[in-house]
Structure 1
């Protein structure tokens, strides 16, 4: 197994690996690499739904989805996204976000596997939240340090979040589901929302992933945000996602 760092300042390609036959040393190296790079891109895998669940579990305990949300009845751990509503959820996450930020204990890791590749469209953008904080002007940082965001369901998170392992600060903000900031007027919040969205979307900051069938992507949601792009219903695209529970993530187990 070999790691090739991307030239984005975050993310790495993982080569010469078969995820269905990992050794403990492989698992340890993947754990370390995810904390180092925030995003791992692995091509040319062949996973059944059961195989995706098994591979995902090396990163921790999986979340499950209520009946009707996990489209694979036998695998409630898998959240299926598709280009056509008959195949899975459509129009999901077309704004900067980290999965599970609506939870009181936010979802630390997401894992995607592309089941069916479209002819065109459906790319996913990824942005480094740690670098987004670093790239702010120094005089701007004190103004956002200590701010608390309010999700539309009432869940609160610090806008500047320190990673539970690396302790590095990052901007943790769900553009679509955040409805306010403690102490801010609606007008102040909307100005901040626009500013943060523009900042995450700044030129050259995002890694754009063009999906191929068999791709696996693993993301540290406290380090990396992502955003979906539109895809036509006449395309055939199926993307299966698993997510790790906050109370079962591998780095939490290692710290106990």
Structure 2
């Protein structure tokens, strides 16, 4: 197995890997690479749903979904998104976010496996939250350090959080589900929301993943945000996602 860094400043390609037959050295390498690069892209895999579950478990204990919520009754660990309503959840996450930020103990890792490849459309964008914080003007940072965001369900998180394993600061913000900031008026919050969305969307900052059948993408949700792009029902895409529980992640409990 080889790890090849992307030229984005974050992310890496994992080459010559077989995720159905991981050795302990492979597991250690993947875990180390995820913390170093934040995003791993692995092509040409052949995973059954059971195989995806087993592979995902090398990163920790998996979250599970209620019957019907994840779409695969026999595999409650898998959340299925799709281009067609009969095959999975549609129109999911078309804004910058990290999965599970609506939880009091946020979801640390997401893992996707492409089951059916569309002819075109449906790319996923990924942005480096650590670099997003670093790229802010130094005079702006004191104004946002210490701010607490409010999700629409009442869950609070720091806007500038330190990664539970690396302790490096990043901008942790869910554009779609955050409804306010403690101490901010609605007008102040909307101005900040617009500004942060534009900052995460700035030219050249995102890695655009064009899905191929057999792709596996693994994201550290405290380091990398992602955003889905539209896909037509005329296209056929099925994408299975697993996520790691906050209290079961391999680097230790994910407190932010």
Task: Please confirm whether the aligned pair reaches a TM-score higher than 0.5, indicating the same fold.
Answer: yes
Shift of 1:66: 1.0
| CA deviation map 1:22-73 (0-9, x unaligned) | 0001100100000000000000000000000000000000000111111111
Once the two structures are superposed, the pairs formed by residues 140-155 of structure 1 within 5 Å of their partners are 140-155=140-155
Shift of 1:219: 0.3
Shift of 1:154: 0.1
Paired residues of 2:162 and 2:170 also in contact (CA < 8 A): yes
C-alpha change, 1:253 and 1:136, in structure 2 (3 Å) is: closer
Paired residues of 2:122 and 2:230 also in contact (CA < 8 A): yes
C-alpha change, 1:168 and 1:84, in structure 2 (3 Å) is: same
Structure 2: distance between partners of 1:253 and 1:10: 23
The reply to whether residue 102 of structure 1 matches residue 102 of structure 2 is yes
Moved over 3 A (4+): 253-256
Secondary structure (helix, strand or coil) at the match of 1:35 reads helix
- Structure 1 unmatched ranges of 5 or more: none
Which residue number corresponds to residue 26 of structure 1?
A: 26
RMSD: 1.6
Shift of 1:14: 0.2
Paired residues of 2:106 and 2:254 also in contact (CA < 8 A): no
Q: Give aligned pairs, total.
A: 256
Secondary structure (helix, strand or coil) at the match of 2:61 reads strand
Secondary structure (helix, strand or coil) at the match of 1:165 reads coil
Shift of 1:248: 0.1
Which residue number corresponds to residue 56 of structure 1?
A: 56
Once the two structures are superposed, the pairs formed by residues 1-256 of structure 1 within 5 Å of their partners are 1-252=1-252
Structure 1: distance between partners of 2:218 and 2:179: 28
Structure 2: distance between partners of 1:143 and 1:13: 36
Q: TM-score, normalised by structure 1?
A: 0.99
Structure 1: distance between partners of 2:71 and 2:188: 39
Shift of 1:255: 12
Structure 2: distance between partners of 1:212 and 1:86: 21
| CA deviation map 1:137-165 (0-9, x unaligned) | 00000000000000000000000000001
Secondary structure (helix, strand or coil) at the match of 1:21 reads coil
Structure 2: distance between partners of 1:56 and 1:233: 29
| CA deviation map 1:55-101 (0-9, x unaligned) | 00000000001111111110000000000000000000000000000
- Structure 2 unmatched ranges of 5 or more: none
C-alpha change, 1:255 and 1:107, in structure 2 (3 Å) is: closer
Secondary structure (helix, strand or coil) at the match of 1:252 reads coil
Shift of 1:8: 0.2
Structure 2: distance between partners of 1:100 and 1:11: 21
C-alpha change, 1:253 and 1:7, in structure 2 (3 Å) is: same
Structure 2: distance between partners of 1:135 and 1:196: 12
Secondary structure (helix, strand or coil) at the match of 1:41 reads strand
